Amino acid sequence: MKGLITDIHARSILDSRGRPTVEVECFVDGSLMSRAAVPSGASTGSHEAVELRDGGDLWHGSGVEKAVKNVNTVLRDVLVGSDVSDQEAIDGLLIEADGSMNKSIMGANAILGCSMAAFRASSLAKGVPLWQNLPGTWPNPSLPVPLMNILNGGAHASTNVDVQEFMVVPYGFPDFDSALRAGTETYHALKKTLGEKGLLGGIGDEGGFAPSLQKNEDGLRLLVEAIERAGYSSETQIGIALDVAASEFYKSGKYSFDGREIGGADLSAIYSSWVDRYPIVSIEDPFDEDDWMSWISFTERGHDIRIIGDDLYVTNPIRLQKGIDEGASNSILIKPNQIGTLTETLKVMGIANQEGFDCIVSHRSGETSDDTISDIAVGTGCGWIKTGAPARSDRTSKYNQLLRISEAGLPYSGWV
């Protein structure tokens, strides 16, 4: 039989923040077929699958030698001899070898590296593009609308801005290429404006600018100004998406926002007034990951926007089901390393689709040049991808892969 995994090999490489991460190679029928690298979050949800870090002094505790060793010993042994095209069986073996509820034994970083390397290898072995090789039935592939994070705050910047991500969303364009161009021109327009206002400081972890601002709302004003300065309409062409990542500033039932301690209802009122006055198309993690009541009552307000759970759901089917049952949001962020295998990631997307929730496939703030998420977003036809600023190769690798795929003539998802 051909198409068997003959070896798996992992090593530690550097991610975009200069921290170690896991890279895995998959050999099929004796030849090196593929390589995959695992990303890492900064504002991680507490319910995520466990990223195994070594602790101790080396790398200030962030080494991944234990995870690498797990791949090169236990996981290699269970995968060698497997049919590389049977992703579900491969992921089943990985889950079984770990045996825990949260992948804390082998490490979700070790497991996802193997899962993605095998997925990439099977596409190469079959000679089909990755986006056409997703396990399951995904009948409507499309180019996703990018959520481009051009102003960074929160845990991704050393500034006073509480909101983690201010993103532009170029939905009103006929194809992905022109949407990407418009979003990128907006990024450069924002740079000019920040420079003129003396606000151009550093760059955040996802490649966006990281100014200190008097109030969080200033970020919204700056984005609208940048969209219009670039020559686009903030009403019909480019909208704004926020990732508040509110768990990062929630403590003892209060949110520390704009220098004040406020409750969930007050924060909801602020969001509602923003939605009324700015072209906001989505808000991610508006509340803490366990403040379900605030999520439910904000969703009940019926704003015509995507309310996206990231830390809330951590790409986990049990948490997603609770959110569906209780009406806690209407959309979910999808990060493969929050759950740990490709099969489980796609299962969560399937549940979301069935229940009318939108899926936004996402990178992490710590990234590599791995571009697998681009193909997942296209192949599932989910319509949205969140992958940072249109700058820095850890971010542009995903956009550039989408440009390559766009040559196949797939439709641009656009506004739906």
- Which sequence positions are flagged as catalytic? 206, 335
Sequence-separated (6 or more) residues with CB below 8 Å from residue 85: 3, 122, 125, 126
Among 62, 234, 299, 362, interactor with ligand PGA by CB under 6 A? 362
- The least distance separating Zn ion from the CB of residue 333, rounded to whole angstroms, comes to 6
44 binds, options Zn ion, ligand PGA, none, Cβ within 5 to 8 A by partner type? ligand PGA
CB under 5 A: which stretch of 9-17, 254-262, 310-318, 338-346 binds Zn ion?
Answer: 310-318
CB under 6 A: which stretch of 38-46, 78-86, 176-184, 221-229 binds ligand PGA?
Answer: 38-46
- The least distance separating ligand PGA from the CB of residue 77, rounded to whole angstroms, comes to 31
Which residue's CB is nearer to ligand PGA, number 41 or number 135? 41
Which residues in 163-182 contact ligand PGA (CB under 6 A)? none
122 binds, options Zn ion, ligand PGA, none, Cβ within 5 to 8 A by partner type? none
Among 16, 34, 44, 237, interactor with ligand PGA by CB under 6 A? 44
Which residues in 207-266 contact Zn ion (CB under 5 A)? 243
Measured distance CA(245)–CA(230) in Å, rounded: 28
> For residues 270-285, b (16+ Cβ closer than 10 Å) or e, as one string?
bbeebbeebbbbbbbb
DSSP per-residue letters across 143-155: BPEEEEEEEE-GG
DSSP per-residue letters across 196-261: HTT---EE-TTSSEE---SSTHHHHHHHHHHHHHTT--TTTTEEEEEE--GGGGEETTEEEETTEE
- The least distance separating ligand PGA from the CB of residue 68, rounded to whole angstroms, comes to 21
- The least distance separating Zn ion from the CB of residue 198, rounded to whole angstroms, comes to 29
- The least distance separating Zn ion from the CB of residue 243, rounded to whole angstroms, comes to 4
DSSP-derived secondary structure letter, 395: H
Which residues in 184-243 contact ligand PGA (CB under 6 A)? 243
Q: What strand order describes the sheet that includes 31-37?
A: 5-14, 20-28, 31-37
Helix (H) or strand (E) holding 358: strand 358-362
With residues binned 3-state (H G I as helix, E B as strand, rest as coil), the percentages for the chain, rounded to 5, are 40, 20, 40
Which residue's CB is nearer to ligand PGA, number 120 or number 156? 156
Which residue's CB is nearer to Zn ion, number 291 or number 310? 310
Count of residues touching Zn ion (by CB under 5 A): 2
Measured distance CA(73)–CA(69) in Å, rounded: 6
- Backbone dihedral angles phi then psi of residue 358, each to the nearest 5 degrees: -85, 145
Among 310, 370, 371, 375, interactor with Zn ion by CB under 5 A? 310
Which residues in 237-266 contact ligand PGA (CB under 6 A)? 243, 245
CB under 6 A: which stretch of 42-50, 88-96, 137-145, 251-259 binds ligand PGA?
Answer: 42-50
- With CB atoms as reference, the residue minimizing the distance to ligand PGA is 41
Determine, following the binding rule CB under 5 A, whether residue 162 of this chain makes contact with Zn ion: no
184 binds, options Zn ion, ligand PGA, none, Cβ within 5 to 8 A by partner type? none
Measured distance CA(8)–CA(24) in Å, rounded: 7
In this structure, are residues 369 and 394 in contact, taking their beta carbons and an 8 Å threshold? yes
Measured distance CA(141)–CA(331) in Å, rounded: 19
Which residue's CB is nearer to Zn ion, number 206 or number 243? 243
In this structure, are residues 354 and 327 in contact, taking their beta carbons and an 8 Å threshold? no
- The least distance separating Zn ion from the CB of residue 365, rounded to whole angstroms, comes to 9
Tokens (6 digits) for 266: 């007050």
Q: Contact residues for ligand PGA (CB under 6 A)?
A: 41-44, 243, 245, 310, 362, 364-365
Q: Contact residues for Zn ion (CB under 5 A)?
A: 243, 310
